[in-house]
Structure 1
Amino acid sequence: MGELRSVESADGSVIGFEVVGAGPPMVLVHGGTADRSRWAPVLPRLAERFTVHVLDRRGRGLSTAEAGDYHIEREGEDVAAVVEAAGRDVYLVAHSYGALCALEAALVSTAIGRMTLYEPPMSTGEHRVVPPDTLDRLRVVAAGDDAEGILETFFREVIEVSTADIEAMRGTPIWLARLAAAHTIGRELDSVEAFDSSDRLSRIGIPVRLLLGTESPGYFRPAAELIARRLPRADIAPLYGQDHLAIDRDPEQLTAAVFAFAS
């Protein structure tokens, strides 16, 4: 384990993070139903080249001291606070919902030098991240305080993970971390559906690379393409043979992609 630190976000929430490695500053932002342990498969390699700041997003892990009502803009301020604690010209790497938080952070922080965003989820036209009936089912399950049911519904119907893969995760440390964060799924899915992908994103002038698995659910590509069009200096790179879980399935390819955009 690295050094544990914390910062106070703009709304007074306390955001905790772990610092490991040596080199230029990097901040990692995990996605939904997770905490900072999500990065464990790639963290040792990243820490060989960077001083890595691995945050727990609000509502979990080291960051349960939330202040005020939830909004994705507050998450952007959280990420920005950690980035500014990390230094200047920070390399920000984010996965899934964390990539949307990273976009919000880049709108308010000048300390970010570049970003790699692995499959930010966003509905575009007929390509819906969360069909209304799935969202309704998740709300019903959440009302019953059934963390296992929330996770299973999310994995099967939102990111299209097989039953075999879900069973393989069950009981592992990662699964337990996801159970602890299950209460955040509903608010984050609501934010996905309401995410503002307007021309405001054109204010993000830093280099941005969007990573896209060649086997990922179909809604990720149009989302990446739309975001890339909005950003002045963005491109899209493939993760060959991978889906939304390349952190687990092919950490070497993912790490190589992150390093390739490092300079």
Structure 2
Amino acid sequence: MDKNISSRDGTSLAYESAGRGSPVVLVSGAMSTGATVAPLAAPLAERFRVVVYDRRGRGGSGDTAPYAVEREIEDLAALIEAVGGEAALYGVSSGGALALRAAASGLPVRRVAVYETPYAMSEDDLGERARYTERLTAALAEGRRGDAVELFLRLTGLAEDVIQGARQSPMWAGMESMAPSLAHDDAVMGDGSVPRGLLASIPVPVLSIAGAVSPAWMREAARAIAESVPRGTYRALEGQTHMVEPDVLAPVLAEFLSG
């Protein structure tokens, strides 16, 4: 990231932009930095000014206690102001929940696209989310960052042998360094249910996307978002999973964001 701005509370945010045209801010999900969504920036930069940033508490950005979701919305407000005063948002996974919250808050957002925002679609899943929140909070309070990362990986459905393999890998130290930001994403997701009241207040067009071969509940959650906003559209991308291919996603986003 080659640029920095200050959010309202003084937190330094690292970002970069590429391309020319109407601004689009890319919002990453849990356990990720701006680098995670950067591959999507290149194809979009042919038509838009694409802004990639490190959310607070990760990468090159700072973090200021106490955390609140409102601070992350203020971060987006600062970025939007820095790139011209209005922007579209694209959020992946829990970053989609943040983008939707930002649009509902009244920020100058012209369109929002989200990919597989993981809202729970059953009572069992809501119960699992509640247990995850409780255990995550305890692990972070006790400084057990590795345990916090394990909890998140289990929540995503990774097999136990894969998780233990990851724990022995060179990338584990970097994952532990970002563990405190898991609490940020947990807060952004609320209780895990589809926030239909909040979504109903979003005045701008929303595109909710899922991979056609992702788990059925992911597609159901994406469809529920589209059905809960006044101007929503649902799309399923053939052959795609949660790890969507940028070259498949970019044309769909470009069409929608062009309006």
Length-normalised TM-score, structure 2: 0.82
| Alignment partner, residue 107 of structure 1 | 104
Q: What is the aligned partner in structure 1 of residue 58 from structure 2?
A: 60
Q: State the match for 1:200 in structure 2.
A: 198
Offset at residue 208 of structure 1 (A):
0.8
Q: Report how far residue 255 of structure 1 moved.
A: 1.6
What residue number does 2:6 align with? 7
1:24-46 deviations in Å (ceiling 9; x for gaps): 21111101111111113322222
Post-superposition offset of 1:230 = 2.3
Q: What SS class does the counterpart of residue 62 from structure 2 fall into? A: coil
Q: 1:39 to 1:19 in 2, by over 3 A?
A: same
Aligned to 2:228: 230
Contact 2:104 2:203 in 1 (8 A): no
Deviation (angstroms), 1:111: 2.3
Structure 1, gaps ≥5 residues long: none
* Residue in structure 2 matched with residue 126 of structure 1 by the alignment: 123
- The alpha-carbon distance between structure 1 residues 121 and 76, as it changes in their structure 2 partners (threshold 3 A), is farther
Deviations along 1:79-103, one digit per CA (max 9) or x if unpaired, are 1221222224422111111111111
Q: Could you tell me which of 89, 94, 98 is aligned with 1:92?
A: 89
Question: 1:79 is matched with which residue?
Answer: 76
Q: Is the 8 A contact 2:211 2:241 kept in 1?
A: yes
Q: Distance in 1 between matches of 2:255 and 2:56?
A: 30
Give the distance between the partners of 2:49 and 2:87, measured in 1 at CA: 10
How far apart are residue 251 of structure 1 and its match? Answer: 2.0
Distance 1:7 1:187 in 2: 19
Secondary structure of the corresponding residue to residue 242 of structure 2: coil
Aligned-pair identity in percent equals: 32
Amino acid at match of 1:213: G
Q: Which amino acid aligns with 2:251?
A: A
Change (3 A) 1:108 1:193: closer
Q: Aligned equivalents of 1:214 and 1:171: distance in 2?
A: 32
After superposition, residues 1-263 of structure 1 pair within 5 angstroms as 3-9=2-8, 11-66=9-64, 68-126=65-123, 128=125, 131=128, 132-139=130-137, 141-142=139-140, 145-155=143-153, 157-161=154-158, 170-171=169-170, 178-194=175-191, 197-246=195-244, 250-263=245-258
User: Cα offset for 1:75?
Assistant: 1.6
Between stretches 90-99 and 199-208, larger displacement belongs to 199-208
Say if 1:242 and 1:65 are closer, same or farther in 2 by CA, change over 3 A.
same
* Whole-Å separation in 1 of the counterparts to 2:106 and 2:174: 29
**Root-mean-square deviation (Å):** 2.9
**SS at structure 1 position matched to 2:219:** helix
Query: What is the CA-CA distance between 1:235 and the residue it aligns to?
Result: 0.9
Corresponding pairs, count: 254
Give structure 2 stretches of 5+ with no counterpart: none
Q: 1:90 to 1:164 in 2, by over 3 A?
A: farther
In 2, distance between residues paired with 1:124 and 1:73?
Answer: 25
1:42-93 Cα shifts (integer Å, max 9, x gaps) = 2222223222111211112232142x42222322222122122222442211
Bigger mean CA offset, 42-51 vs 216-225: 216-225
How big is the shift at 1:254? 1.7
Check 1:129–1:74 CA distance in 2 against 1; reply closer, same or farther (3 A cut): farther
